[in-house]
């Protein structure tokens, strides 16, 4: 094995380690940020005792989950019960490897390094396929727990996924028609015009709105958090989970939020593009991270202000409104692309 092969393997493992570590740290502090922002919205202080301003609260929560007693229901299907949270967190983390976090940068002694762990032609299909698998973790958790509330939460999650996955996929067709590729890095590179401000949201505002609504429903967040619905189903599909297994479901939800925020940033907000990136490439990752944080804040803001839908309203909205609008957006996009207007 030559030096270049060894260097490539080392850089690959390093990139994966760094990316996953950064994502998990951001997820941990997203939880803290959510608790603080919701507290401000509701006129409270939020967690502020562990470390300065509560900055060590995520580590205290992790320690609590590690030390808590694990309770397994006697009549649960044990193997599936343990497998479900692993499926959920794995499906949430895997899409991270294809997102372009920044442009190619040049480092001394090493050369050019693309800020993408893995790049291939069907990266967008990979993301959609892997994220769809996550619902199996939720459905299996609901079934294997042998609890009626958990089962109902799992069934709701499955129905919700079928309803909104279709609209989410169709909302991206307009971007694909414009770019002519499924490679996420190529889609970002095509948004470099206008001094880094030629973002697809300008040409696909309707597709962006459809994607945003569908993504919130996909991640089971307010106002679409019907699979959990504490006031109806105790805690939904993870009612019977405790300690680290509950923590895995908790992490999977926030990693999914991060994943769909990265996809929205990549497809609609120019990814790492922004002013002066062409001359200062190191600005790219900061632009990318800033846009993702904006979406995470939007999630928290919506949770603090909107009430939950009823389940029949959720289904009606998905099938009778969102799906027809998504199809209309495809027709409009195809027509504009045919005449070369986008």
- Tell me whether residue 106 is in a domain: yes
User: What whole-number distance in Å separates Cα of residue 257 and Cα of residue 34?
Assistant: 12
Identify the CA nearest to 130 among candidates 170, 99, 175, 104. 99
- Tell me whether residue 28 is in a domain: no
Alpha-carbon dihedral sign for residues 116, 118, 119, 122 = negative
- Tell me whether residue 22 is in a domain: no
The token pair at 236 is 């939904």
- Tell me whether residue 278 is in a domain: yes
Query: Which one-letter DSSP state was computed for residue 192?
Result: -
- Grouping H, G, I as helix, E, B as strand and the rest as coil, residue 162 is helix
Residue 219 reports pLDDT greater than 90 = no
Any idea which of 84-88, 162-166, 232-236, 268-272 has the lowest mean pLDDT?
232-236
Residue 314 reports pLDDT greater than 90 = no
Residue 233 reports pLDDT greater than 70 = no
- Tell me the pTM: 0.91
User: What whole-number distance in Å separates Cα of residue 339 and Cα of residue 246?
Assistant: 52
- Tell me whether residue 49 is in a domain: no
* pLDDT tens track for 247-294: 898 889 899 999 999 999 999 999 999 998 888 888 999 999 999 999
Q: Domain range holding 224?
A: 68-338
Q: Cis bond leading into 223, ω under 30°?
A: yes
- Tell me whether residue 135 is in a domain: yes
What's the rounded mean pLDDT across residues 125-154?
87
The token pair at 333 is 């996009």
Identify the CA nearest to 137 among candidates 71, 76, 91. 91
Give the Å distances, CA to CA, from 309 to 15, 105, 162, 224, 232: 41, 46, 17, 6, 12
Residue 2 reports pLDDT greater than 70 = no
- Tell me whether residue 300 is in a domain: yes
* Total number of domains in the chain: 1
User: What whole-number distance in Å separates Cα of residue 141 and Cα of residue 238?
Assistant: 7
168 within 8 A of 207, measured Cβ to Cβ: no
User: What whole-number distance in Å separates Cα of residue 132 and Cα of residue 145?
Assistant: 22
Any idea which of 48-52, 71-75, 102-106, 235-239 has the lowest mean pLDDT?
235-239
- Tell me whether residue 238 is in a domain: yes
- Grouping H, G, I as helix, E, B as strand and the rest as coil, residue 271 is coil
- Grouping H, G, I as helix, E, B as strand and the rest as coil, residue 2 is coil
Q: What is the mean pLDDT of the chain?
A: 88
User: What whole-number distance in Å separates Cα of residue 203 and Cα of residue 217?
Assistant: 24
Residues belonging to the chain: 342
Any idea which of 28-37, 110-119, 204-213, 308-317 has the lowest mean pLDDT?
110-119
Identify the CA nearest to 259 among candidates 40, 62, 46, 27. 27
Any idea which of 75-79, 84-88, 123-127, 208-212 has the lowest mean pLDDT?
75-79
323 within 8 A of 167, measured Cβ to Cβ: yes
Identify the CA nearest to 238 among candidates 136, 134, 140, 141. 141
């Amino acid at each position: 094995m030559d030096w270049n092969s060894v260097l490539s393997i080392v850089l690959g493992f390093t990139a994966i380690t760094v990316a996953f570590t950064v994502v998990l740290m951001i997820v941990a502090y997203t939880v803290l940020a959510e608790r603080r922002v919701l507290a401000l919205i509701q006129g409270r202080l939020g967690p502020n005792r562990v470390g300065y301003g509560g900055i060590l609260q995520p580590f205290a929560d992790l320690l609590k989950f590690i030390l808590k007693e694990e309770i397994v229901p006697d009549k649960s299907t044990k193997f599936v019960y343990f497998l479900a949270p692993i499926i959920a967190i794995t499906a949430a983390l895997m899409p991270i490897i294809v997102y372009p976090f920044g442009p190619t940068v040049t480092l001394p002694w090493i050369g050019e390094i693309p800020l993408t762990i893995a790049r291939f032609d069907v990266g967008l299909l990979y993301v959609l396929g892997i994220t769809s698998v996550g619902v199996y973790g939720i459905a299996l958790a609901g079934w294997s727990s042998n609890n009626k509330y958990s089962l109902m939460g799992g069934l709701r999650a499955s129905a919700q996924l079928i309803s909104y996955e279709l609209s989410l996929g169709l909302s991206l067709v307009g971007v694909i028609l414009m770019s002519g590729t499924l490679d996420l890095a190529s889609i970002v590179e095509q948004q470099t015009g206008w001094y880094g401000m030629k973002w697809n949201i300008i040409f696909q505002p309707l597709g962006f709105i459809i994607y945003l609504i569908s993504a919130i429903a996909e991640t089971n967040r307010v106002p679409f958090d019907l699979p959990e619905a504490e006031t109806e189903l105790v805690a939904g599909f993870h009612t019977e989970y405790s300690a680290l297994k509950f923590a895995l479901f908790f992490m999977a939800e926030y990693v999914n939020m991060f994943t769909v925020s990265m996809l929205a940033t990549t497809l609609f907000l120019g990814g790492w593009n922004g002013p002066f990136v062409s001359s200062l490439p190191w600005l790219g990752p900061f632009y990318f991270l800033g846009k993702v944080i904006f979406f995470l804040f939007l999630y928290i803001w919506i949770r603090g202000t909107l009430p939950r839908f009823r389940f029949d309203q959720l289904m009606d909205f998905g099938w009778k409104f969102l799906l027809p609008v998504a199809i209309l957006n495809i027709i409009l996009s195809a027509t504009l692309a045919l005449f070369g207007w986008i």
